[in-house]
Amino acid sequence: MGNCFGSSTKVDATLSTSSESSRNPSKISNKSAPSNISISSYSGKSSGEGLSTPRSEAEILSSSNVKPFLFNELKSATRNFRPDSLLGEGGFGYVFKGWIDETTLNAAKPGSGLVIAVKKLKPEGYQGHKEWLTEVNYLGQLHHPNLVKLVGYCSDGDNRLLVYEFMPKGSLENHLFRRGPQPLSWAIRMKVAIGAARGLSFLHEAEEQVIYRDFKASNILLDGEFNAKLSDFGLAKAGPTGDRTHVSTRVMGTQGYAAPEYVATGRLTTKSDVYSFGVVLIELLSGRRAVDKTKTGVEQNLVDWAIPYMGDKRKLFRIMDTKLEGQYPQKGAYTCATIALQCLSHESKLRPRMAEVLATLEQLQAPKSSTTHSKVENRPSFNHVCLSPLKQHSPMNMKPLASPLPRRSLLVK
């Protein structure tokens, strides 16, 4: 097991004076973790502080509603981080399955009590530590059915760990791109898209806005009923306040998912997340990765490859996942493609808000659009897919983009 896919390359373009750097071991990071750092991020409302108020590590750890674990407790809970407890690996480190008592939260016998996922930070220094702290800061305070629950953390000597609720179906990435599991049905794909849209919308519409910054298939985790929950808040950032239109940061994220204007300028807005959502929507439609280095030419980049087919209802079937075996509603698929095109608008202001995307996706679950058809081009009544009834519920303009997106190359270190 492991994060063996080239598509997950992290973007780290040095564009500002911020102290951030990439968490990928092959990228820039200071090797020593300072004993105390402060981060400008979500502060919660109870303290009465603003989003941009820096908080010290001690403040974050003492105010979060999660349990501080000792390293030895997590060692027992995961049976000494046994390889057969390994759930996966990412840039941050390895993730292990473990068990704790439901009430005391102490380590429990394998197979009894509450199942947890324990993420163990690689000893990587400042950036890893900073992302660990950012995650405790956000997930310690933000609670929503579509955000993964943080049970606790461990800061014991040099060890930094995060303890989450266990998500039995793993990540969306595993289901969409790996051979083995049953292919996801259209209905499940829509359920996942809606769940993830709810999570993002919650962050964006919060009084103290949060920009997630790392929206991608591997960060969408699935519970036993395929409810989607966002994980990995290590790159999350407080949204702009007052009259500001954006926050300026060093460019961080994942190649193929990061919005082009953000990569080019370091200016971050909620519309950067909306762009990434558009990329994931195409992944759901096509079953292809955002970036696939095993392919050649234009097919390496999903957005570049898919866009020419997405605005034409007669061509859309060419990008649809063959694993669906034609079992999807044409109107639903075309509406989804249209939403994706809007999310991918080159001009970030033209992208819809996540609340608008969510409202439109929710309309697709109406029984009207649930009939399946085997071939898109056999459907004569496909013309008015821009669905005027939808507009009553959603302010989104459902017209496809007139021209394909211009693309920029990403600076990847």
Residue set of the binding site for ATP: 120
164, burial (CB in 10 Å: exposed 0-12, middle 13-18, buried 19+): buried
- CB-nearer residue toward ligand ATP: 231 or 363: 231
Determine which residue in the list 231, 300, 342, 345 makes contact with ligand ATP, applying CB under 6 A. 231
Sign of the C-alpha dihedral computed for residues 157, 159, 160 and 165 taken in this order = negative
232 binds Mg ion (CB under 5 A): yes
Which one of ligand ATP, Mg ion, none interacts with residue 164, CB within 5 to 8 A by kind?
ligand ATP
Cα–Cα distance for residue pair 366/360, rounded to 1 Å? 11
Q: Which of 228, 330, 350 is nearest to 285 (CA)?
A: 330
Candidate list 84, 101, 158, 214, residue with the active-site label: 214
CA-based nearest residue to 34, from 17, 64, 63, 57:
57
Cβ 217 to ligand ATP shortest distance, Å: 9
What gap in Å lies between CA 385 and CA 376, rounded to an integer?
Answer: 12
How far apart CA 93 and CA 75 sit, in angstroms, is 15
Q: Calculate the CA dihedral of residues 320, 326, 331, 334 and round it to 10 degrees.
A: 10
Min separation Cβ 150 and ligand ATP, Å: 9
When asked if residue 173 is in the footprint of Mg ion (CB under 5 A), the reply is no
Helix or strand holding residue 331 (H, E)? helix 330-343
Instruction: Looking at residues 191 to 230 of the shown chain, list those that interact with Mg ion (rule: CB under 5 A).
Output: 219
**Closest CA relative to residue 412, chosen from 31, 91, 8, 122:** 8
What's the chain's length in residues?
413
Q: Per CB under 6 A, does 281 bind ligand ATP? A: no
Among ligand ATP, Mg ion, none, the one that 87 touches (CB under a kind-dependent 5 to 8 A) is: ligand ATP
Shortest distance in whole angstroms from residue 119 CB to Mg ion: 9
* C-beta closer to ligand ATP: residue 90 or 140: 90
Instruction: Give the count of residues interacting with ligand ATP (CB under 6 A).
Output: 24
Site mask for ligand ATP (CB under 6 A), range 168-207, x = bound? --xx-xx---------------------------------
Query: Of the two residues 230 and 364, which places its CB atom closer to Mg ion in the complex?
Result: 230
156 counts as catalytic? no
Q: What are phi and psi of 134, to 5 degrees?
A: -60, -40
E-strand ranges in 255-408 read 267-268
Residues 211-230 binding ligand ATP (CB under 6 A) are: 218-219, 221
Of 150 and 197, which has the nearer Cβ to ligand ATP? 150
Query: Is residue 360 a contact point for Mg ion (CB under 5 A)?
Result: no
Return the range that interacts with ligand ATP (CB under 6 A); candidates 163-171, 202-210, 344-352, 400-408. Answer: 163-171
- Tell me which of ligand ATP, Mg ion, none is bound by residue 91, counting a contact when its beta carbon lies within the kind-specific cut-off of 5 to 8 angstroms: ligand ATP
Cβ closest to ligand ATP, residue 87 vs residue 187: 87
CB of 167 or CB of 291, closer to ligand ATP: 167
When asked if residue 24 is in the footprint of Mg ion (CB under 5 A), the reply is no
147 near ligand ATP (CB under 6 A): no
Select the residue interacting with ligand ATP from 69, 166, 212, 262 (CB under 6 A): 166
Phi, psi of 393 (to 5 degrees): -95, -20
Distance of alpha carbon 236 from alpha carbon 225, whole angstroms: 26
8 binds ligand ATP (CB under 6 A): yes
Instruction: Give the separation between CA 58 and CA 398, rounded to whole angstroms.
Output: 48
Is 363 an interacting residue with respect to ligand ATP (CB under 6 A)?
no
Residues 64-123 that bind ligand ATP (CB under 6 A): 87-92, 95, 117, 119
Q: Are strands 150-156 and 159-165 parallel, antiparallel or unpaired?
A: antiparallel
Q: Which of 116, 83, 110 is nearest to 97 (CA)?
A: 116
Are 171 and 280 spatial neighbours (Cβ–Cβ below 8 Å)?
no
Give the C-alpha separation, 193 to 328, whole Å: 15
With tokens 């300028």, the residue in question is 265
Nearer to ligand ATP, 92 or 317 (CB): 92
Task: For residues 334 and 342, give the distance between their C-alpha atoms in angstroms, rounded to a whole number.
Answer: 12
Question: Contact between 148 and ligand ATP (CB under 6 A)?
Answer: yes
CA distance 241 to 48: 15
* Residues of the shown chain interacting with Mg ion in the complex, contacts defined by CB under 5 A: 90, 219, 232
* Residues of the shown chain interacting with ligand ATP in the complex, contacts defined by CB under 6 A: 3, 8, 87-92, 95, 117, 119, 148, 164, 166-167, 170-171, 173-174, 218-219, 221, 231-232
Residues annotated as part of the active site: 214
